[in-house]
Each structure stands twice: as C-alpha cells, then as structure tokens.
Amino acid sequence: MTRIDAKFAELRGQGKKAFVSYVMAGDPDYATSLEVVKGLPGAGVDIIELGLPFTDPMADGPTIQAAGQRALEAGMTLQKTLDLATEFRKTDDTTPIVLMGYYNPIYNRGVDTFLTDAKAAGIDGLIVVDLPPEEDDELCIPAQAAGLNFIRLATPTTDDKRLPKVLQNTSGFVYYVSITGITGAAEAQATDVAPEVARIKAKTDLPVIVGFGVRTPDTARAIAGAADGTVVGSAIVSQIAAGKPPAEVLAFVKSLADGAHSA
C-alpha cells in the first residue's frame, strides 16, 4: 500500500473528500518553494502534486508555464526537485507526493535511475502527461513495479471506447480533467463533472479526483462533492506569482481545503 492508498483509506474512514494542491517545484526559488510545500499539510492538503519544471509544458496554461519558467531561471532541476522532496520527508513521512510533469527529463536521467532516486526521495506517484497508455512499457509499468503509483488523466473527450485503455494500468487515483483545453482556462462546473465522474467510477474502484478550473472555496466544495476530491493548481500558483509570502499563500490554500473538506 502506497502513501496515496493509505491517505484515501484514511479519508474514507473519516467520510471526507480529498484536497490535492499543485505547486511548481522551485517557484519562485528553492527556499520559498520548500517553505510553501512544508506548510501545505498544515493548511489542510491531503496530497501534494509537485510540478517538475520543463522547458516545453504543452498541456499547461500560461500560469503554470510561467511558474515553470521562473523555477528554471532560478536554477531548478530534476535533481533539486528530488532534493526538495527529500527535505520535506525529514519532517513529514505521511503526506503523499505526486510528481507531475513531462517525460523528457525522466528519459534523460534514465528510467531505472529516476525511479530509484524518486522512491528514495519519498515520491509516491507520477503524473506524466505526455505518455499515453500505448507507451506504458516506457515508464508506467516499471514505476508500478518500483512501488510508485502511476496516475492517469481522463478528460471530457475520453469516450467509453478509450476509457478502459486509460484505466488499465492506472493506480492511486484517476485525475479527471474537468474542462477541455489547458490548465487555468475556465471554471469547472459540478453539474458537468458529476455524470462524468459516475461514468469513470462505473469502470474502476479507484478514487476519482477532479482538477482544472477550481479557483475558489465554493467551487472546491462543489467539485469535491461531485467526486472523491478536487485539485487546485493555477489559483495557488497565481498567489505565488503575485509575490505573496508563504504565510499568505498557505492561508489561501487553507480556505480551498476547508471548502473541499466541507463537501
């Protein structure tokens, strides 16, 4: 059982929905990023999605793209991202960390080396947005063998024919993208999300978490109520981009977590 599996079991026992937060590793710099990440569990975050900066983030909107650029300009690398996770684990051995990014940096490091290093750093799961199920032998299956969950995205365009393929080697949870397009583009609507979540849950026992387009505590509550939990990324990253100190960023995160947990 991974930390992700354990967290969902704990939340089910409490009758609570999951709140997942995304932040870009190294944004705006290593020290500030580490301070924010260390504060996330205390702000009510159940699972941390840690963005891996990349030069060509094709699935991300302007907010996340800019965060990745700031991190890269501040010298963030894959190794430093793993270092950040290692540092976090010195004081928190229970909050799951999902590394979210693109395959190129992982491929350049070498899959086996990366998986060994990620496991040692306390990474629990991976979301690699540019590796489709047809490429499962590349990373997904080796990651599962190494004890890491491989989390797949489903979208409004994932039809009933495609869905089984998306789900076949997925573990940890399914990340349902509430809107078509890039991150941070539009607001998620619970009325649109609920039937899609039900459709996915009819095909899998995994929790379904909904992200993209969640910016306020009210939306977090509504979306979490239609699923097993919700993810917020761009809205949090925007706070960091605005130069808010970590304490203010974390207060905003807590408002979102409280919304999700009240669903």
Q: Specify the pLDDT at position 186.
A: 65
pLDDT tens-digit profile of 147-201?
999 999 999 999 999 999 999 999 999 999 987 665 555 678 888 899 999 999 9
Question: Which pTM value belongs to this model?
Answer: 0.96
What is the CATH code for 3-261?
Answer: 3.20.20.70
44 Rama sector, left if φ>0, alpha if ψ -120 to 50, beta otherwise: left
Mean pLDDT of the chain: 95
C-alpha span between 211 and 222 (Å, rounded): 12
Token pair recorded at residue 98: 């999902």
The percent of residues in the chain predicted with pLDDT above 90, rounded, is 91
pLDDT tens-digit profile of 27-39?
999 999 999 999 9
For the segment 63-69, the average pLDDT, to the nearest whole number, is 96
Positions annotated as catalytic residues are 49, 60
Position with higher pLDDT, 203 vs 58: 203
C-alpha span between 37 and 95 (Å, rounded): 11
**Domain ranges (residues) in the chain:** 3-261
Neighbours of 136 (CB within 10 A): 19
Q: Specify the pLDDT at position 27.
A: 98
Position with higher pLDDT, 179 vs 220: 220
Distances, alpha carbon 182 to alpha carbons 21, 44, 65, 169, 213, in Å: 17, 26, 10, 24, 10
Q: Specify the pLDDT at position 182.
A: 56
